[in-house]
Each structure stands twice: as structure tokens, then as C-alpha cells.
Structure 1
Amino acid sequence: MEFGLHIADYTWTSGARDLGPALARHVRNAEASGIERITVMDHFWQLPGIGPVEHEMLEAYATLGFIVANTEKAMLHTLVTGVIYREPALLVKQVTTLDVLSGGRVGLGVGAAWNVQESEGLGFEFPPVAERFRRLEETVQIALQMWSDSEEPYDGAVYQLGRTLNSPQSLTRPHPYLMIGGSGERKTLRLVAQYADACNIGFTPESARKLDVLRGHCDAVGRDYDEIEKTAMIAVTPESTPDTVAATVRELEGLGFTATYVYAIGMPEPEHVVDLIAGARTVAA
């Protein structure tokens, strides 16, 4: 089981003025502790359940660029980008740029988006769910085409690109790591089976059944189920211990998950979550 640090909360005791140095220390500490992956949310307001919407939230791709400059080994991506926030070619160019500048360590995590309050508040278009899934599939198709040798036009129902030139090309070949996040059974997991390197599913009593649904979609499209990495997210709080985290991770591993992204709620000292993950790794080993 690989462990990832998912940074979902920037309301730390350092305060906003010293957030840059605090984040740099945090990701260096995570990497030094053996954490293999670091991800960030792609939101503009804090999410209910983690903190008040007014709490600090950094823009994802600017933050990933900062983390690239302050790490050396960890794989980085968003968990996950809302497809409505950026034009597909811009999103692919951002990920490609970071992949090149990081030496091949940045991937794309993408999903259909869900936060209507955030979108309405900041003026992002929030289409109906069927339209968002059309955009998601076309964005993934555009990404894979821009990461290929083709510069042909792309003519979709939503997006039309006259020339899919992408230079410099990504260092990661045939393309950067591609995760589709979410556990919707009819659409999201079908898109995972058809296109993605990885899924990300929240840990719930339904997790095992979600993987069975994914397996069915793989059978339907002729995809090897074992080719797809199964990842999950879990929250930790000040009450969490290495033993409780390790027990959850063992349960996930028994279901077939191979990577766990851990995010903190109510932990204003970011080094505490790294220490907790490191302790859980030792217990689970």
C-alpha cells in the first residue's frame, strides 16, 4: 500500500502571511518521511465538513507549481480537478508544463465537478450533470490526443480544437498519470474503465461494490481490470492514531486498493498528519 498526503486544509497556525514557508516545510517533511504522493484539492472555497468556506484555500495549479519546486521525488496531481474550471487545452498545457518542469512527476486528476455553491459564488458556469459528464469525457479525449503524436483537430459535441499541438510534450510517456475521481456507477466508473490509469473512491461501506461495478465496466469495454490502480481517500482527525489509520488501510488493502490518500481535518499543525501517516506505515508494514 502506498500512502499519499492529500492537502485539503491550509488553515494552519502559521497564518496566511507565512503559508508559503509552512507549505514548503510540509511537503519536504512529507517526502522525507517516505510519502510517495502529494495531492491538492481543486477548489476555491473550503469544503463543508473540513472547515468554514471562508477558511484559506489555494488555487490548485499555482500550488502544484510551488510544490514541484519544493520536492524532488513525490508524484503530484490534483484530487481532483473540476472539469468546468478550465478549458481542456489549457488544463492539458498546465499539467504538461508541470510534468516537464518536475522531471515527469505530475499527473492529471479530473472529475465532473459538484460544488454548485462555489461555482455560483465565483461565477463559474455549472451545467447540468449530463453536460458535465460530456465535458469530462471530451476533456479526457483531448488530453490523450494532445499527449499523443497527433496534431489533428478535435471535433466534439462540446469542444472544437483546430490543432492539438502540445510542445514541449510531456516527459511521462505515453502520457502523464490519469486519474478519474468519483464513484458514480453509470458514468464515472465507466469512464475510468475506458480511459483512466486510476480511480479514486471514498472509503465507505459501498467501496467493495463500487469496485465490482468497475470490474463490470472493464469487462464491457474489454479492459483489464488489474491495469487500473484503485485508490481511496480517508480523513484523519486529532483523535486518529497510527493504529486506527493502519486498521483502515489494511481493510482497504483487503478490498483491492493499492494507494491511500490521507487528508487532515482539524489539525492546524501540518507536521502532525505527516507523523500520523509515518506511524501508520510502520504499524501496517
Structure 2
Amino acid sequence: MQAGFHFWNFSVPGAPESLPTVLADTARAAEAGGFTQFTVMDHWFQMDRVAPATEPMLEAFTTLGFLAAHTSSMRIGPLVTGVTYRYPGLLAKIVTTLDVLSSGRAMLGIGAAWYEREHHALGVPYPALAERFERLEEALQIALQMWSDDDGPYEGTHYRLAETLNSPPAIQRPHPPIMIGGKGEKKTLRLAAQYAQIINLTTSDPAEVAHLLDVLRGHCDRLGTDYDAIEKTVIASAADPFDADFLPQMQRLADLGITQVVLGTRPADPVGWVERLSEGIVPKLAEL
């Protein structure tokens, strides 16, 4: 099992002046320590369900561009962007740029968006959930068209593009992988089955993961897509990897077909935390 690292809390000592150094050092330590993926939040405010919204939050793709210059092998991307945050054509262009400048290491992590407060605060439209899912599917279609040889128009219900020209093209072929994050059974997992190369389930409970994977397989069977071709990952950012139950839980997930667990940062000492994980946990995950 591989390990991903999710940098979700920017309230590090000395912030904001210390953030460039802390981010670069954390990413370099993660890469040297065997992590295969490095992700950041894509929010404008800190999530008020876990910390005050007033805590520091960096814009995701600017941060990822910075991290691309300080790493060389890890996959990088947002976990995950909301479909409402950027027009889909612009989003595909941004991810393409990140892929080019990282020498083929970008991914598009995307979901239907949920944080209503930050939308209203910054004047960004926040449609009803059903419409956000409609927009999500159109955004996926637009990204795939922009990553294809078809630079013609796109006509959807919510988005209309006169041209899907995207030059230079992405480095990765056929395109940067699409990650869909969440665990909604009717819509999220269906979209993952139809469009994604990676699914990130927002649970690490083995029983729940087993059920969700069965649902995903059912969607793949109905759509005629390849269940086995989808990389299956979970996020365990709130877990204590040094708890005695953690590695047995990861073994159960590996037995289900999970190939990566995403671990979270500890803002008091992100570099030290990565080094502890690299020494004590990442090698043991690799054995699963």
C-alpha cells in the first residue's frame, strides 16, 4: 500500500512568513520518505467544521505550482477542488499547466463542492446540490475533451465553449488522472465509475469501504467500464497511524483492493511529522 500526504492545515508556527519554507521542506521530506502523492486543500477559508474559518488558507493551484518546483517524483493535486470554484475550461487549462511544469505529475481531484459559507463570502454562485452534480459531470466532459484531439465546441446545459483548444497539451497520456472524491452512492460513485482513474473514499472504515466498493463495481458493470482500472484510495487524515489498530485496519483495506491511504499533516511540526511517518509507518504500509 502506498502513502499519500495531505497538507490541509496552514496554521504552522510563524505563518504566513514561514509557509514557503515549511511547505517546501515538508514536501521534500515526504518525497524522500517514500510518499507517492502530495495534496493540498482547495478551499478559500479553512473548514469551519474542523477549525476557525479565519485560520490561514492558501489558494490550491498556486501552492501546487510552488510545490512542483520543490519535488520531482510525487503526484501532486488538490484533494479536492469544487466544481464551482473555476470555470471548467479554465480548470482544465490550469491542471494542464501544472502537468507540464511538473513534468507529468499533476492530477485533477474534483467533487461537487460543499462549503457554502466561502462561496457567499467571496461572491461565488452556489447552486443547489442537484445542479452542482450536473455541473460536475459537464466539467468532467469538458476536461476530457480539452485533453483530447477534439478542439471543437462543447455544448452543455450549464457550460458552452466555442473552442476547447488547449496548447500545450498535458505531458501525461492520455491525460492527467482524474480523481473523484467522496462516497455518495448514487452520483459520486457513478461519476467515478464513468470518468475517473482514481477514487478517493472519504472513509477508512473497512466495512463501509467494502460496501462502497461493491457499489462502485455495480456502477462499472452497468456502464461497461473497468472496475479494476480505477485506483482505489482512502483518506485517513484524522487517524493516528501509530495507534495499535491502524496497520491491521490498513491490511483489511489492502485486502479489499485499496492501494493508497492519505495521511494528514500535523501543523505544529509538519516536517517532523512526515519524518516520523516515513520512518515508522510508510515502510510498513509498503509491505501490505
Q: Report the equivalent of 2:281.
A: 280
Identity of aligned residues (%): 47
Gapped regions of structure 2 (runs ≥ 5): none
Show structure 1 runs of 4+ deviating over 3 A.
242-245
Mapped to 2, the partners of 1:54 and 1:244 lie a distance apart of: 34
For residue 251 of structure 1, report the CA deviation from its aligned partner: 2.6
Distance in 1 of aligned mates of 2:58 and 2:144: 27
Give the whole-Å Cα distance in 2 for the aligned partners of 1:263 and 1:62. Answer: 20
- Match of 1:249, as an amino acid? M
Measured after TM superposition, the shift of residue 207 of structure 1 is 1.8
Take 1:171 and 1:94, find their aligned partners in 2: how far apart are those partners?
13
Counterpart residue type for residue 252 of structure 2: E
Contact 1:152 1:164 in 2 (8 A): yes
1:262 aligns with 2:263: yes
Kindly tell me: are residues 218 and 224 of structure 1, through their superposed partners in 2, closer, same or farther at Cα, counting changes over 3 Å?
same
Q: Distance in 1 between matches of 2:193 and 2:141?
A: 14
The alpha-carbon distance between structure 1 residues 271 and 243, as it changes in their structure 2 partners (threshold 3 A), is farther
Higher relative contact order (CA 8 A, sep 6+): 2
- Cα distance per residue 1:26-72 (max 9 Å; x no partner): 11111111111001111111113532211111100000000001111
**Stretch of structure 1 that moved more, 50-59 or 159-168:** 50-59
Q: Secondary structure at the match of 1:22?
A: helix
Q: Which residue of 2 aligns with 1:216?
A: 218
Query: Would the alpha carbon gap of residues 242 and 206 (structure 1) be closer, same or farther in structure 2, given more than 3 Å must change?
Result: closer
Most deviating of 269-278 and 24-33: 269-278
Distance in 1 of aligned mates of 2:168 and 2:135: 25
Matched residue, 2:193: 193
Match status 1:157 vs 2:157: yes
- SS of the residue corresponding to residue 199 of structure 2 reads strand
Distance in 1 between the 2:173 and 2:241 partners?
39
TM-score, normalised by the number of residues in structure 1 = 0.95
Counterpart in the other structure of 2:105: 105
Contact residue 80 and residue 109 of structure 1 kept, 8 A: yes
CA offset at residue 245 of structure 1?
3.7
Between the aligned partners of 2:273 and 2:245, the Cα distance in structure 1 is 13
Asked if 2 retains the 8 angstrom alpha-carbon contact of 1:95 and 1:108, the reply is: yes
Root mean square deviation of aligned Cα: 1.5
Aligned length: 283
8 Å contact kept, 1:99–1:176: yes
Unaligned runs of 5+ in 1: none
Post-superposition offset of 1:243: 4.7
Report the 3-state secondary structure (helix = DSSP H, G, I; strand = E; otherwise coil) of the residue aligned with 1:131.
helix
1:5-154 maps to which residues of 2 (within 5 A)?
Answer: 5-154=5-154
Quote the Cα distance in structure 2 between the aligned partners of 1:234 and 1:276.
16
Report the equivalent of 2:251.
250
Which moves more between the two structures, 8-17 or 239-248?
Answer: 239-248
Asked if 1 retains the 8 angstrom alpha-carbon contact of 2:6 and 2:237, the reply is no
Aligned counterparts of 2:213 and 2:106: Cα–Cα separation in 1: 25
CA-to-aligned-CA distance 1:64-109 (integer Å, 9 cap, x gap): 0000011111100111010000000110000000100111011101
Contact map agreement 2:39 2:78 (CA 8 A) in 1: yes
Match of residue 209 from structure 2: 207
SS of residue paired to 1:120: helix
SS in 2 for 1:283: helix
Query: What SS does the corresponding residue of 2:51 show, helix, strand or coil?
Result: coil
| Aligned equivalents of 1:247, 1:273: Cα separation in 2 | 21
Task: Write out per-residue CA displacement over residues 163-196 of structure 1, whole angstroms, 9 at most, x where no aligned residue.
Answer: 1100000010111011111111111111111111
With normalisation by structure 2, the TM-score equals 0.94
* AA of the residue aligned to 2:231: E
